[in-house]
Chain A
Amino acid sequence: MEIQKLKELKRYATIIRKDIIDQVYSAAAGHPGGSLSCADIVSVLYFKEMRIDPKRPHWEDRDRFVLSKGHCSPALYGALAERGFIPKEDLLKFRQASSYLEGHPSMKLIPGVDMSTGSLGQGISAAVGMALAGKLDGKDYRVYSILGDGEIEEGQVWEALMCAAHYKLDNLTVFLDHNGLQIDGKITDVLSPEPVKDKFEAFGLKVIVVNGHEHQQIVEAIDEAKKTKGKPVMIVAETVKGKGVSFMENEAGWHGTAPNKEQRDKAIAELDDLLAKLEVE
Protein backbone atom coordinates (compact mmCIF):
# COMPACT_ATOMS: atom_id res chain seq x y z
CA MET A 1 0.00 0.00 0.00
CA GLU A 2 1.31 3.43 -0.86
CA ILE A 3 2.31 5.75 1.97
CA GLN A 4 -0.30 8.19 0.76
CA LYS A 5 -3.15 5.68 1.11
CA LEU A 6 -1.94 4.59 4.51
CA LYS A 7 -1.89 8.21 5.65
CA GLU A 8 -5.38 8.71 4.30
CA LEU A 9 -6.67 5.69 6.23
CA LYS A 10 -5.10 6.98 9.43
CA ARG A 11 -6.68 10.35 8.83
CA TYR A 12 -10.13 8.84 8.23
CA ALA A 13 -9.84 6.66 11.32
CA THR A 14 -9.09 9.75 13.38
CA ILE A 15 -11.95 11.70 11.84
CA ILE A 16 -14.30 8.78 12.55
CA ARG A 17 -13.05 8.81 16.15
CA LYS A 18 -13.95 12.49 16.37
CA ASP A 19 -17.37 11.68 14.90
CA ILE A 20 -17.82 8.99 17.57
CA ILE A 21 -17.04 11.40 20.38
CA ASP A 22 -19.33 14.07 19.01
CA GLN A 23 -22.24 11.68 18.44
CA VAL A 24 -22.05 10.19 21.90
CA TYR A 25 -21.55 13.62 23.45
CA SER A 26 -24.50 15.20 21.65
CA ALA A 27 -26.75 12.23 22.42
CA ALA A 28 -25.48 12.13 26.00
CA ALA A 29 -25.66 8.38 25.48
CA GLY A 30 -24.02 5.63 23.47
CA HIS A 31 -20.93 3.45 23.41
CA PRO A 32 -17.60 5.18 22.89
CA GLY A 33 -15.22 2.42 24.04
CA GLY A 34 -16.00 -0.30 21.51
CA SER A 35 -16.64 2.25 18.76
CA LEU A 36 -13.16 3.67 19.18
CA SER A 37 -11.59 0.20 19.27
CA CYS A 38 -13.00 -0.76 15.86
CA ALA A 39 -12.51 2.60 14.12
CA ASP A 40 -9.37 1.49 12.28
CA ILE A 41 -11.00 -1.66 10.94
CA VAL A 42 -14.04 0.34 9.85
CA SER A 43 -11.89 2.94 8.10
CA VAL A 44 -10.04 0.27 6.12
CA LEU A 45 -13.34 -1.31 5.08
CA TYR A 46 -15.06 1.93 4.06
CA PHE A 47 -12.09 3.77 2.57
CA LYS A 48 -10.16 0.99 0.94
CA GLU A 49 -11.70 -2.45 0.77
CA MET A 50 -15.41 -2.40 0.20
CA ARG A 51 -17.01 -2.17 -3.22
CA ILE A 52 -19.77 0.26 -2.38
CA ASP A 53 -21.44 3.28 -3.92
CA PRO A 54 -23.05 5.94 -1.72
CA LYS A 55 -25.39 6.80 -4.59
CA ARG A 56 -26.69 3.25 -4.73
CA PRO A 57 -26.94 1.93 -1.15
CA HIS A 58 -29.05 -1.03 -2.37
CA TRP A 59 -26.81 -1.92 -5.31
CA GLU A 60 -27.14 -5.70 -5.63
CA ASP A 61 -23.46 -6.35 -6.29
CA ARG A 62 -22.11 -4.25 -3.43
CA ASP A 63 -19.98 -5.71 -0.69
CA ARG A 64 -21.92 -6.06 2.55
CA PHE A 65 -21.00 -5.04 6.06
CA VAL A 66 -22.74 -6.24 9.20
CA LEU A 67 -21.79 -4.59 12.47
CA SER A 68 -22.62 -7.56 14.64
CA LYS A 69 -21.64 -5.54 17.72
CA GLY A 70 -24.36 -3.07 16.86
CA HIS A 71 -23.84 -0.89 19.93
CA CYS A 72 -20.80 0.49 18.12
CA SER A 73 -23.07 2.27 15.66
CA PRO A 74 -21.21 5.60 16.13
CA ALA A 75 -18.21 4.08 14.30
CA LEU A 76 -20.42 2.90 11.44
CA TYR A 77 -22.39 6.14 11.21
CA GLY A 78 -19.15 8.11 11.21
CA ALA A 79 -17.90 6.03 8.28
CA LEU A 80 -21.23 6.37 6.43
CA ALA A 81 -21.12 10.14 6.88
CA GLU A 82 -17.50 10.50 5.77
CA ARG A 83 -18.13 8.21 2.80
CA GLY A 84 -21.18 10.22 1.69
CA PHE A 85 -24.08 7.88 2.52
CA ILE A 86 -25.60 10.28 5.04
CA PRO A 87 -25.11 14.01 5.73
CA LYS A 88 -22.43 14.66 8.29
CA GLU A 89 -24.54 17.15 10.25
CA ASP A 90 -27.07 14.39 10.96
CA LEU A 91 -24.52 12.73 13.25
CA LEU A 92 -25.29 15.32 15.90
CA LYS A 93 -28.86 14.03 16.01
CA PHE A 94 -27.70 10.52 16.93
CA ARG A 95 -30.20 8.74 19.21
CA GLN A 96 -32.68 11.61 19.15
CA ALA A 97 -36.39 11.06 18.66
CA SER A 98 -36.45 13.34 15.62
CA SER A 99 -33.60 11.46 13.91
CA TYR A 100 -33.26 8.30 11.83
CA LEU A 101 -29.91 7.53 13.47
CA GLU A 102 -31.18 4.92 15.89
CA GLY A 103 -29.09 3.90 18.88
CA HIS A 104 -28.43 0.64 17.09
CA PRO A 105 -28.19 0.32 13.29
CA SER A 106 -31.49 0.04 11.42
CA MET A 107 -31.35 -1.05 7.79
CA LYS A 108 -34.82 0.26 7.04
CA LEU A 109 -34.00 3.78 8.17
CA ILE A 110 -30.36 4.37 7.36
CA PRO A 111 -28.87 4.34 3.85
CA GLY A 112 -25.78 2.14 3.79
CA VAL A 113 -26.75 -0.04 6.75
CA ASP A 114 -26.98 -3.58 5.37
CA MET A 115 -28.46 -5.25 8.44
CA SER A 116 -30.26 -4.14 11.58
CA THR A 117 -28.26 -5.22 14.62
CA GLY A 118 -28.01 -4.51 18.31
CA SER A 119 -28.96 -7.82 19.82
CA LEU A 120 -25.53 -9.38 20.19
CA GLY A 121 -24.86 -12.65 18.43
CA GLN A 122 -27.31 -12.15 15.58
CA GLY A 123 -25.42 -9.99 13.11
CA ILE A 124 -22.89 -12.70 12.33
CA SER A 125 -25.71 -15.05 11.32
CA ALA A 126 -27.13 -12.41 9.01
CA ALA A 127 -23.69 -12.04 7.45
CA VAL A 128 -23.62 -15.81 6.94
CA GLY A 129 -27.00 -15.58 5.21
CA MET A 130 -25.72 -12.86 2.89
CA ALA A 131 -22.65 -14.93 2.06
CA LEU A 132 -24.86 -17.97 1.37
CA ALA A 133 -26.98 -15.86 -0.98
CA GLY A 134 -23.87 -14.62 -2.77
CA LYS A 135 -22.67 -18.18 -3.31
CA LEU A 136 -26.07 -19.32 -4.50
CA ASP A 137 -26.29 -16.51 -7.03
CA GLY A 138 -22.70 -16.89 -8.16
CA LYS A 139 -22.02 -13.27 -7.26
CA ASP A 140 -18.58 -12.01 -6.37
CA TYR A 141 -19.51 -9.58 -3.63
CA ARG A 142 -17.85 -10.06 -0.27
CA VAL A 143 -19.37 -9.94 3.18
CA TYR A 144 -17.64 -8.38 6.20
CA SER A 145 -18.69 -8.43 9.82
CA ILE A 146 -17.27 -7.27 13.15
CA LEU A 147 -17.86 -9.24 16.35
CA GLY A 148 -17.16 -8.09 19.88
CA ASP A 149 -15.05 -10.33 22.09
CA GLY A 150 -17.75 -10.29 24.76
CA GLU A 151 -20.33 -10.92 22.07
CA ILE A 152 -18.78 -14.29 21.24
CA GLU A 153 -20.02 -15.57 24.59
CA GLU A 154 -23.36 -15.85 22.76
CA GLY A 155 -23.99 -19.42 21.58
CA GLN A 156 -25.49 -18.20 18.33
CA VAL A 157 -22.08 -16.91 17.22
CA TRP A 158 -20.77 -20.46 17.25
CA GLU A 159 -23.80 -21.75 15.37
CA ALA A 160 -23.10 -19.14 12.74
CA LEU A 161 -19.39 -19.97 12.49
CA MET A 162 -20.15 -23.70 12.24
CA CYS A 163 -22.51 -22.90 9.41
CA ALA A 164 -20.01 -20.60 7.66
CA ALA A 165 -17.35 -23.30 7.72
CA HIS A 166 -19.78 -26.05 6.69
CA TYR A 167 -20.85 -24.11 3.62
CA LYS A 168 -17.25 -23.07 2.88
CA LEU A 169 -18.09 -19.39 2.85
CA ASP A 170 -14.79 -17.99 1.63
CA ASN A 171 -16.65 -14.82 0.64
CA LEU A 172 -17.09 -14.05 4.33
CA THR A 173 -14.46 -12.20 6.36
CA VAL A 174 -15.14 -11.67 10.04
CA PHE A 175 -13.23 -9.45 12.45
CA LEU A 176 -13.01 -10.07 16.15
CA ASP A 177 -12.53 -6.77 17.98
CA HIS A 178 -10.37 -8.34 20.66
CA ASN A 179 -10.23 -5.49 23.15
CA GLY A 180 -10.46 -7.75 26.20
CA LEU A 181 -13.34 -5.86 27.82
CA GLN A 182 -17.09 -6.13 28.03
CA ILE A 183 -19.54 -4.22 30.24
CA ASP A 184 -18.83 -5.85 33.56
CA GLY A 185 -15.07 -5.99 33.16
CA LYS A 186 -12.45 -8.20 31.54
CA ILE A 187 -13.81 -10.91 29.28
CA THR A 188 -11.56 -13.36 31.08
CA ASP A 189 -13.20 -12.47 34.39
CA VAL A 190 -16.80 -12.35 33.19
CA LEU A 191 -16.97 -15.54 31.12
CA SER A 192 -13.83 -16.30 29.26
CA PRO A 193 -14.17 -17.14 25.58
CA GLU A 194 -10.42 -17.80 25.39
CA PRO A 195 -8.43 -19.18 23.71
CA VAL A 196 -10.23 -17.58 20.81
CA LYS A 197 -7.73 -18.40 18.06
CA ASP A 198 -7.82 -22.12 18.85
CA LYS A 199 -11.58 -22.12 19.07
CA PHE A 200 -12.03 -20.40 15.72
CA GLU A 201 -9.58 -22.80 14.12
CA ALA A 202 -11.38 -25.76 15.65
CA PHE A 203 -14.57 -24.42 14.13
CA GLY A 204 -13.01 -24.59 10.69
CA LEU A 205 -12.03 -20.99 10.08
CA LYS A 206 -8.73 -19.66 8.88
CA VAL A 207 -7.47 -17.29 11.57
CA ILE A 208 -5.20 -14.31 11.05
CA VAL A 209 -4.08 -12.28 14.05
CA VAL A 210 -3.30 -8.59 13.54
CA ASN A 211 -2.80 -5.41 15.49
CA GLY A 212 -6.24 -3.92 14.99
CA HIS A 213 -4.92 -0.38 14.95
CA GLU A 214 -2.29 -0.95 12.24
CA HIS A 215 -3.93 -0.25 8.91
CA GLN A 216 -1.18 -1.93 6.97
CA GLN A 217 -1.71 -5.18 8.87
CA ILE A 218 -5.49 -5.00 8.49
CA VAL A 219 -5.17 -4.48 4.74
CA GLU A 220 -2.73 -7.36 4.38
CA ALA A 221 -4.99 -9.66 6.36
CA ILE A 222 -7.94 -8.80 4.13
CA ASP A 223 -5.80 -9.46 1.06
CA GLU A 224 -4.97 -12.87 2.46
CA ALA A 225 -8.64 -13.48 3.26
CA LYS A 226 -9.55 -12.71 -0.34
CA LYS A 227 -7.05 -15.29 -1.54
CA THR A 228 -8.29 -17.96 0.86
CA LYS A 229 -10.43 -20.62 -0.78
CA GLY A 230 -12.93 -22.97 0.80
CA LYS A 231 -13.00 -21.40 4.26
CA PRO A 232 -14.30 -18.29 5.96
CA VAL A 233 -11.61 -16.13 7.50
CA MET A 234 -11.52 -14.72 11.02
CA ILE A 235 -9.23 -11.77 11.54
CA VAL A 236 -8.52 -11.51 15.24
CA ALA A 237 -7.78 -7.84 15.73
CA GLU A 238 -5.86 -7.10 18.91
CA THR A 239 -7.27 -3.77 19.99
CA VAL A 240 -7.48 -1.32 22.83
CA LYS A 241 -10.95 -0.37 23.98
CA GLY A 242 -11.30 3.42 23.87
CA LYS A 243 -8.31 3.69 21.49
CA GLY A 244 -7.24 7.23 20.64
CA VAL A 245 -8.64 9.00 23.69
CA SER A 246 -6.11 8.69 26.51
CA PHE A 247 -8.49 8.63 29.43
CA MET A 248 -10.88 6.17 27.76
CA GLU A 249 -8.26 3.58 26.84
CA ASN A 250 -8.61 0.21 28.55
CA GLU A 251 -11.32 1.46 30.87
CA ALA A 252 -14.40 -0.76 31.03
CA GLY A 253 -16.24 2.24 32.45
CA TRP A 254 -16.17 3.94 29.05
CA HIS A 255 -18.09 1.10 27.42
CA GLY A 256 -21.43 2.86 27.50
CA THR A 257 -20.87 6.25 29.09
CA ALA A 258 -21.05 9.61 27.33
CA PRO A 259 -18.38 12.24 28.03
CA ASN A 260 -19.33 15.53 29.64
CA LYS A 261 -18.39 18.83 27.94
CA GLU A 262 -14.94 19.00 29.47
CA GLN A 263 -14.18 15.38 28.63
CA ARG A 264 -15.52 15.84 25.12
CA ASP A 265 -13.27 18.86 24.55
CA LYS A 266 -10.25 17.02 25.87
CA ALA A 267 -10.96 14.01 23.65
CA ILE A 268 -11.43 16.18 20.56
CA ALA A 269 -8.25 18.12 21.35
CA GLU A 270 -6.26 14.89 21.54
CA LEU A 271 -7.67 13.68 18.25
CA ASP A 272 -7.05 17.05 16.60
CA ASP A 273 -3.45 16.85 17.76
CA LEU A 274 -3.20 13.47 16.10
CA LEU A 275 -4.64 14.86 12.87
CA ALA A 276 -2.13 17.73 12.94
CA LYS A 277 0.72 15.26 13.42
CA LEU A 278 -0.51 13.18 10.48
CA GLU A 279 -0.43 16.30 8.32
CA VAL A 280 3.25 17.00 8.94
CA GLU A 281 4.36 13.35 8.84
Chain B
Amino acid sequence: MVKKIATRDAYGNALVEFGSDNKIVVMDADLSKSTKTELFKKQYPERFLNMGIAEANMMTAAAGMASCNKIVFASTFAMFASGRAYEQVRNSICYPALNVKIGATHAGITVGEDGASHQTIEDIALMRVLPNMTVISPADAVETRAAVKTAIETDGPFYIRLGRLAVPVINDENDYKFELGKGVLVSEGADVTIVCTGYMVSQTIEAGKLLEKEGIKPRIINIHTIKPIDKDILIKAAKETGAILTVEEHSIIGGLGSAVSEVIVENCPVPVKRVGINDKFGKSGKPDELLVMYGLTPENIAIKAKELLESKKNK
Protein backbone atom coordinates (compact mmCIF):
# COMPACT_ATOMS: atom_id res chain seq x y z
CA MET B 1 0.00 0.00 0.00
CA VAL B 2 1.29 3.43 -0.90
CA LYS B 3 1.42 5.95 1.85
CA LYS B 4 -1.17 8.74 1.55
CA ILE B 5 -0.76 12.22 3.01
CA ALA B 6 -2.74 15.36 2.24
CA THR B 7 -0.56 18.18 0.94
CA ARG B 8 -2.12 20.49 3.53
CA ASP B 9 -0.71 18.24 6.24
CA ALA B 10 2.70 18.36 4.62
CA TYR B 11 2.36 22.15 4.47
CA GLY B 12 1.65 22.42 8.21
CA ASN B 13 4.56 20.13 9.00
CA ALA B 14 6.91 22.04 6.71
CA LEU B 15 5.99 25.35 8.34
CA VAL B 16 7.08 23.84 11.66
CA GLU B 17 10.20 22.23 10.20
CA PHE B 18 11.45 25.34 8.40
CA GLY B 19 9.77 27.96 10.56
CA SER B 20 12.41 28.63 13.19
CA ASP B 21 13.57 31.88 11.57
CA ASN B 22 12.11 34.85 13.44
CA LYS B 23 11.34 36.54 10.14
CA ILE B 24 8.65 33.96 9.43
CA VAL B 25 5.08 34.82 10.39
CA VAL B 26 2.03 32.66 9.69
CA MET B 27 -1.45 34.14 9.30
CA ASP B 28 -4.72 32.32 9.02
CA ALA B 29 -8.36 33.30 8.57
CA ASP B 30 -10.14 31.10 11.13
CA LEU B 31 -9.21 27.89 9.33
CA SER B 32 -6.00 26.91 11.08
CA LYS B 33 -7.35 23.48 11.97
CA SER B 34 -8.12 22.78 8.33
CA THR B 35 -5.14 24.47 6.69
CA LYS B 36 -2.88 22.87 9.32
CA THR B 37 -1.24 26.14 10.26
CA GLU B 38 -2.29 25.16 13.79
CA LEU B 39 0.84 23.02 13.84
CA PHE B 40 2.94 26.17 13.46
CA LYS B 41 0.78 27.93 16.01
CA LYS B 42 1.56 25.22 18.58
CA GLN B 43 5.27 25.48 17.94
CA TYR B 44 5.64 29.24 17.54
CA PRO B 45 2.53 30.86 19.05
CA GLU B 46 4.11 34.32 19.11
CA ARG B 47 4.56 34.28 15.35
CA PHE B 48 1.09 33.01 14.50
CA LEU B 49 -1.66 35.56 13.88
CA ASN B 50 -5.28 34.67 13.51
CA MET B 51 -6.71 37.37 11.28
CA GLY B 52 -10.30 36.17 11.55
CA ILE B 53 -12.78 35.70 8.75
CA ALA B 54 -11.44 38.76 6.96
CA GLU B 55 -9.36 37.55 4.05
CA ALA B 56 -9.04 40.91 2.31
CA ASN B 57 -7.48 42.43 5.40
CA MET B 58 -5.30 39.36 5.94
CA MET B 59 -3.72 39.55 2.50
CA THR B 60 -3.01 43.26 2.66
CA ALA B 61 -1.80 43.11 6.26
CA ALA B 62 0.51 40.28 5.18
CA ALA B 63 1.86 42.67 2.55
CA GLY B 64 2.36 45.37 5.17
CA MET B 65 4.28 42.95 7.41
CA ALA B 66 6.34 41.77 4.45
CA SER B 67 7.30 45.39 3.78
CA CYS B 68 8.88 45.29 7.25
CA ASN B 69 11.19 42.44 6.32
CA LYS B 70 8.94 39.53 7.34
CA ILE B 71 8.32 36.38 5.36
CA VAL B 72 4.58 35.98 5.73
CA PHE B 73 2.63 32.81 5.03
CA ALA B 74 -1.04 33.69 4.62
CA SER B 75 -3.34 30.70 4.66
CA THR B 76 -6.97 30.04 4.00
CA PHE B 77 -8.97 27.94 1.57
CA ALA B 78 -7.81 28.42 -2.02
CA MET B 79 -11.29 29.66 -2.91
CA PHE B 80 -11.00 32.66 -0.60
CA ALA B 81 -7.28 33.26 -1.02
CA SER B 82 -7.52 33.55 -4.78
CA GLY B 83 -11.13 34.66 -5.13
CA ARG B 84 -12.32 36.75 -2.21
CA ALA B 85 -8.98 38.51 -1.82
CA TYR B 86 -7.99 38.59 -5.48
CA GLU B 87 -7.53 42.30 -5.81
CA GLN B 88 -5.65 42.51 -2.53
CA VAL B 89 -3.28 39.84 -3.80
CA ARG B 90 -2.88 41.77 -7.03
CA ASN B 91 -2.47 45.32 -5.79
CA SER B 92 -0.94 44.90 -2.35
CA ILE B 93 1.19 41.77 -2.80
CA CYS B 94 2.09 41.32 -6.47
CA TYR B 95 2.37 44.92 -7.65
CA PRO B 96 4.94 45.78 -4.97
CA ALA B 97 6.40 42.22 -5.24
CA LEU B 98 6.25 41.66 -1.49
CA ASN B 99 7.39 38.55 0.29
CA VAL B 100 4.03 36.94 0.96
CA LYS B 101 3.54 33.20 0.52
CA ILE B 102 -0.07 32.20 0.06
CA GLY B 103 -0.65 28.70 1.39
CA ALA B 104 -3.96 27.92 -0.29
CA THR B 105 -5.50 24.66 0.83
CA HIS B 106 -8.65 22.82 -0.24
CA ALA B 107 -8.17 23.53 -3.93
CA GLY B 108 -10.15 21.68 -6.57
CA ILE B 109 -13.10 19.29 -6.43
CA THR B 110 -11.46 16.80 -4.05
CA VAL B 111 -12.62 19.15 -1.29
CA GLY B 112 -15.60 16.83 -1.60
CA GLU B 113 -18.67 17.22 0.56
CA ASP B 114 -18.53 21.01 1.00
CA GLY B 115 -19.46 21.36 -2.65
CA ALA B 116 -19.14 23.99 -5.35
CA SER B 117 -18.92 27.08 -3.13
CA HIS B 118 -15.68 25.73 -1.64
CA GLN B 119 -14.15 24.03 -4.66
CA THR B 120 -12.05 26.52 -6.55
CA ILE B 121 -11.27 25.41 -10.08
CA GLU B 122 -10.16 28.87 -11.24
CA ASP B 123 -7.32 29.70 -8.90
CA ILE B 124 -4.41 28.68 -11.12
CA ALA B 125 -5.82 30.87 -13.88
CA LEU B 126 -6.28 33.82 -11.54
CA MET B 127 -2.90 33.56 -9.90
CA ARG B 128 -0.72 32.85 -12.89
CA VAL B 129 -1.90 35.95 -14.74
CA LEU B 130 -0.43 38.17 -12.03
CA PRO B 131 3.00 39.68 -12.71
CA ASN B 132 5.63 38.80 -10.06
CA MET B 133 3.64 35.78 -8.82
CA THR B 134 5.18 32.31 -8.65
CA VAL B 135 2.57 29.53 -8.76
CA ILE B 136 3.31 26.08 -7.38
CA SER B 137 1.02 23.07 -7.41
CA PRO B 138 2.78 20.23 -5.58
CA ALA B 139 1.99 16.62 -6.42
CA ASP B 140 2.51 15.13 -3.00
CA ALA B 141 3.77 15.64 0.53
CA VAL B 142 7.44 15.47 -0.45
CA GLU B 143 7.05 18.10 -3.12
CA THR B 144 5.01 20.28 -0.77
CA ARG B 145 7.75 20.22 1.84
CA ALA B 146 10.29 21.24 -0.78
CA ALA B 147 8.00 23.96 -2.13
CA VAL B 148 7.64 25.52 1.32
CA LYS B 149 11.40 25.48 1.83
CA THR B 150 11.95 27.03 -1.59
CA ALA B 151 9.31 29.69 -0.96
CA ILE B 152 11.10 30.70 2.24
CA GLU B 153 14.43 30.89 0.43
CA THR B 154 13.11 32.78 -2.60
CA ASP B 155 12.13 36.43 -2.41
CA GLY B 156 8.72 37.48 -3.74
CA PRO B 157 5.08 36.40 -3.85
CA PHE B 158 4.20 32.70 -4.03
CA TYR B 159 0.91 30.90 -4.43
CA ILE B 160 1.13 27.31 -3.22
CA ARG B 161 -1.88 25.22 -4.21
CA LEU B 162 -2.70 22.47 -1.74
CA GLY B 163 -5.35 19.84 -1.30
CA ARG B 164 -7.60 18.52 1.43
CA LEU B 165 -7.58 14.89 0.38
CA ALA B 166 -4.89 12.42 1.44
CA VAL B 167 -3.02 11.62 -1.77
CA PRO B 168 -0.30 9.06 -2.61
CA VAL B 169 3.28 9.99 -1.80
CA ILE B 170 4.98 9.44 -5.14
CA ASN B 171 8.36 11.02 -4.48
CA ASP B 172 11.13 9.68 -2.31
CA GLU B 173 11.96 12.17 0.41
CA ASN B 174 15.61 11.11 0.54
CA ASP B 175 16.58 11.76 -3.04
CA TYR B 176 13.94 14.26 -4.18
CA LYS B 177 15.39 17.47 -5.59
CA PHE B 178 12.97 20.34 -6.13
CA GLU B 179 13.97 22.83 -8.76
CA LEU B 180 11.77 25.89 -9.01
CA GLY B 181 10.51 26.33 -12.57
CA LYS B 182 11.67 22.90 -13.71
CA GLY B 183 9.29 20.17 -14.77
CA VAL B 184 9.89 16.62 -13.56
CA LEU B 185 10.19 13.81 -16.05
CA VAL B 186 8.19 11.04 -14.38
CA SER B 187 8.45 8.52 -17.21
CA GLU B 188 10.34 8.58 -20.47
CA GLY B 189 7.99 7.27 -23.16
CA ALA B 190 7.72 8.75 -26.61
CA ASP B 191 4.25 7.79 -27.91
CA VAL B 192 2.40 10.69 -26.37
CA THR B 193 3.13 13.19 -23.59
CA ILE B 194 0.91 13.62 -20.57
CA VAL B 195 1.59 16.82 -18.61
CA CYS B 196 0.01 16.91 -15.19
CA THR B 197 0.07 18.80 -11.91
CA GLY B 198 -0.97 18.41 -8.27
CA TYR B 199 -2.90 15.32 -7.30
CA MET B 200 -3.38 14.51 -10.99
CA VAL B 201 0.27 13.44 -11.15
CA SER B 202 -0.43 10.29 -9.18
CA GLN B 203 -3.64 9.70 -11.16
CA THR B 204 -1.63 10.06 -14.36
CA ILE B 205 1.02 7.63 -13.17
CA GLU B 206 -1.80 5.08 -12.73
CA ALA B 207 -3.09 5.96 -16.19
CA GLY B 208 0.42 5.34 -17.52
CA LYS B 209 0.32 1.81 -16.11
CA LEU B 210 -2.98 1.16 -17.91
CA LEU B 211 -1.52 2.45 -21.17
CA GLU B 212 1.62 0.38 -20.84
CA LYS B 213 -0.50 -2.73 -20.51
CA GLU B 214 -1.74 -1.88 -23.99
CA GLY B 215 1.76 -1.34 -25.30
CA ILE B 216 1.62 2.45 -25.24
CA LYS B 217 4.52 4.26 -23.62
CA PRO B 218 3.54 7.74 -22.52
CA ARG B 219 5.99 10.39 -21.43
CA ILE B 220 4.72 11.79 -18.15
CA ILE B 221 5.78 15.26 -17.01
CA ASN B 222 4.93 16.72 -13.63
CA ILE B 223 4.70 20.49 -13.79
CA HIS B 224 4.85 21.55 -10.15
CA THR B 225 5.79 25.10 -11.01
CA ILE B 226 2.96 26.42 -13.14
CA LYS B 227 4.66 29.80 -13.28
CA PRO B 228 7.35 30.30 -14.39
CA ILE B 229 6.67 27.24 -16.53
CA ASP B 230 9.43 24.97 -17.83
CA LYS B 231 9.30 25.69 -21.57
CA ASP B 232 12.24 23.51 -22.45
CA ILE B 233 10.83 20.26 -21.14
CA LEU B 234 7.52 20.96 -22.91
CA ILE B 235 9.04 21.90 -26.27
CA LYS B 236 11.31 18.86 -26.17
CA ALA B 237 8.32 16.64 -25.41
CA ALA B 238 6.30 18.19 -28.24
CA LYS B 239 9.13 17.57 -30.68
CA GLU B 240 9.79 14.02 -29.53
CA THR B 241 6.24 12.77 -28.96
CA GLY B 242 4.15 14.93 -31.31
CA ALA B 243 1.07 15.23 -29.06
CA ILE B 244 0.36 16.49 -25.56
CA LEU B 245 -2.41 15.74 -23.12
CA THR B 246 -2.73 17.99 -20.06
CA VAL B 247 -4.37 16.85 -16.85
CA GLU B 248 -5.36 19.04 -13.93
CA GLU B 249 -7.88 19.31 -11.12
CA HIS B 250 -8.84 22.76 -12.37
CA SER B 251 -10.89 24.31 -15.13
CA ILE B 252 -9.59 23.53 -18.58
CA ILE B 253 -9.75 27.29 -19.10
CA GLY B 254 -6.75 29.24 -17.88
CA GLY B 255 -4.91 26.58 -15.92
CA LEU B 256 -2.16 24.11 -16.73
CA GLY B 257 -3.73 23.20 -20.07
CA SER B 258 -3.73 26.82 -21.14
CA ALA B 259 -0.22 27.45 -19.88
CA VAL B 260 1.09 24.42 -21.78
CA SER B 261 -0.86 25.37 -24.92
CA GLU B 262 0.64 28.85 -24.88
CA VAL B 263 4.15 27.42 -24.89
CA ILE B 264 3.40 24.79 -27.53
CA VAL B 265 1.52 27.06 -29.94
CA GLU B 266 4.29 29.64 -29.89
CA ASN B 267 7.21 27.27 -30.14
CA CYS B 268 6.36 23.91 -31.62
CA PRO B 269 2.70 23.45 -32.57
CA VAL B 270 1.46 19.88 -32.05
CA PRO B 271 -2.04 18.68 -31.03
CA VAL B 272 -2.87 19.43 -27.39
CA LYS B 273 -5.91 18.07 -25.54
CA ARG B 274 -6.94 19.11 -22.07
CA VAL B 275 -8.39 16.99 -19.29
CA GLY B 276 -9.83 19.02 -16.43
CA ILE B 277 -13.10 20.51 -15.27
CA ASN B 278 -15.07 21.38 -18.40
CA ASP B 279 -16.22 24.90 -17.64
CA LYS B 280 -18.59 23.75 -14.89
CA PHE B 281 -18.88 24.17 -11.15
CA GLY B 282 -18.14 21.33 -8.79
CA LYS B 283 -20.64 19.70 -6.45
CA SER B 284 -20.94 17.85 -3.17
CA GLY B 285 -19.95 14.24 -2.93
CA LYS B 286 -17.16 11.94 -1.88
CA PRO B 287 -13.89 12.93 -3.56
CA ASP B 288 -13.64 9.57 -5.32
CA GLU B 289 -17.18 9.84 -6.67
CA LEU B 290 -16.50 13.35 -7.91
CA LEU B 291 -13.29 12.32 -9.62
CA VAL B 292 -15.31 9.77 -11.59
CA MET B 293 -18.10 12.23 -12.38
CA TYR B 294 -15.64 14.82 -13.63
CA GLY B 295 -13.43 12.41 -15.54
CA LEU B 296 -10.32 12.82 -13.46
CA THR B 297 -9.60 9.09 -13.14
CA PRO B 298 -6.69 7.02 -14.46
CA GLU B 299 -9.17 5.25 -16.75
CA ASN B 300 -10.43 8.45 -18.35
CA ILE B 301 -6.93 9.90 -18.63
CA ALA B 302 -5.86 6.72 -20.44
CA ILE B 303 -8.86 6.93 -22.79
CA LYS B 304 -8.08 10.56 -23.65
CA ALA B 305 -4.42 9.71 -24.22
CA LYS B 306 -5.39 6.93 -26.62
CA GLU B 307 -7.80 9.20 -28.49
CA LEU B 308 -5.02 11.74 -28.90
CA LEU B 309 -2.62 9.06 -30.07
CA GLU B 310 -5.17 7.87 -32.65
CA SER B 311 -5.74 11.36 -34.01
CA LYS B 312 -1.98 11.82 -34.24
CA LYS B 313 -1.63 8.59 -36.25
CA ASN B 314 -4.49 9.50 -38.56
CA LYS B 315 -2.93 12.82 -39.51
Contacts and interface: CB of A to CB of B under 8 A. Distances in A.
Interface of A: 60, 64, 66, 106-108, 114-116, 118-119, 121-123, 125-134, 136-137, 155-156, 159-160, 162-163, 166-167
Query: Interface majority SS on B: helix, strand, loop or mixed?
Result: helix
Nearest to B62: A129
19 contacts: A64-B68, A108-B96, A114-B67, A115-B63, A116-B91, A122-B88, A122-B91, A125-B56, A125-B61, A126-B63, A126-B67, A127-B64, A128-B61, A129-B64, A129-B68, A131-B64, A160-B57, A162-B57, A167-B49
A13 to B, nearest CB: 27
Interface in B52-87: 52, 54, 56-57, 59-70, 72, 87
Contact of A119 (B25, B49, B70, B91): B91
A128 B67 CA distance: 12
Contacts of B62: 129
A115 B68 contact: no
A106 B96 CA distance: 7
Interface of B: 25, 46-47, 49, 51-52, 54, 56-57, 59-70, 72, 87-88, 91-92, 95-97
A60 B68 CA distance: 7
* 4 closest A-B pairs by CB: A129-B64, A125-B60, A126-B64, A129-B61
Contact of B67 (A106, A130, A159): A130
Given A114-B67, A115-B67, A125 B87 contact: no
Nearest to B57: A159
B60 A60 contact: no
B54 A118 contact: no
A163 B92 contact: no
Contact of A108 (B70, B87, B97): B97
B31 to A, nearest CB: 16
Contacts of B68: 60, 64, 129-130, 133-134, 137
Interface centre among A106, A107, A114, A116 (most CB of B within 10 A): A116
Contacts of A64: 68
A115 B88 CA distance: 13
A116 B98 CA distance: 11
A122 B85 CA distance: 11
Contacts of A137: 68
Interface centre among B60, B63, B97 (most CB of A within 10 A): B60
Contacts of A160: 57, 60-61
A118 B91 contact: yes
A125 B65 contact: no
B96 A133 contact: no
A127 B134 CA distance: 25
Contacts of B25: 133, 136
Contacts of A123: 60
Nearest to A119: B91
B46 A136 contact: yes
Given A108-B96, A122-B92, A156 B60 contact: yes
Given A132-B49, A159-B54, A163-B54, A116 B65 contact: no
Contacts of B61: 125-126, 128-129, 132, 160, 163
A128 B92 CA distance: 13
Contacts of B65: 129-130, 132-133
A107 B93 CA distance: 11
Contacts of B91: 116, 118-119, 122
B196 to A, nearest CB: 36
Contacts of A166: 52
A213 B51 CA distance: 35
A172 B118 CA distance: 35
Nearest to A126: B64
Nearest to B132: A108
Given A106-B96, A122-B92, A115 B64 contact: yes
Contact of A162 (B47, B54, B60, B97): B54
A168 B60 CA distance: 18
B54 to A, nearest CB: 4
Contacts of A116: 91-92, 95-96
